[in-house]
Amino acid sequence: MDESPDEVRILEVRVLAEGHGVLRTTRMQHRRFDGTWQTLNRETYDRGNGCALLAYDPVRGCVLLVRQFRYPAYVSGHAAPLLEVIAGLVDDNPPDVAIRKEAHEEAGLTLRAVRPVFAAYMSPGAITERLSFFVAEYEASDRTGAGGGLIGEGEDIEVVEIPADTAIAMISDGRIVDAKTIMLLQHARLSGLI
């Protein structure tokens, strides 16, 4: 069943916190598949939409990832910095423009072409963010800057080149645990890019 505005009634929305994003609690009614109405309370976290990019070098057979500390992963028991694909918020930019900006800020990459591959909600039960996923070929000469992120945004990023086969193996052995990174690596492997 496709949802229409008639299937949801918003009764009350309260802002619980505003900071890096906005945490809201909503009291709503939703029409169930059997036609009856159910009243629910849901929290949503809105930090805007995002974008993610797997940069890969088909000649050298490697991928470019970034390593950074993630506090939510830390409090969930993962103390090590995470290995991730390049990613960030789109802010007011189209996703393909935003990901080029992120590639330069995080990894020092100046990309010639980016290719959209899919979009997904990463945790639709609580997070409003829709992530646009991209892939892009790169070569060593495309590393035109230092990368490392923006100190003003609290970023401290290490740029890491890894053989593609090693990156795939790191999913199974638990060294790569970030969902967007796993999704893009698997997409690239299934598509024959790496």
Closest among 81, 82, 87 to 54, alpha carbons compared: 87
Residue linked to tokens 């990174």:
181
With beta carbons less than 8 A apart as the criterion, state whether 24 and 12 touch. no
d(CA 173, CA 187): 18
Q: How far apart are CA 129 and CA 38, in angstroms?
A: 25
What is the rounded distance in angstroms from the CA atom of residue 151 to the CA atom of residue 35? Answer: 52
CA distance 142 to 51: 20
The reply to whether 73 sits in an annotated binding site is: no
Beta strand 50-57 with 130-137 is parallel
H-type alpha helices, the chain: 71-75, 95-107, 164-172, 179-190
155 has binding-site annotation: yes
Consult the annotation and say whether 129 binds a ligand: no
- Sequence-distant (6+) residues with CB within 8 A of 1 are 7, 33
Which residues carry a binding-site annotation for Mg(2+)?
A: 87, 102, 106, 155
Which residues carry a binding-site annotation?
A: 87, 102, 106, 155
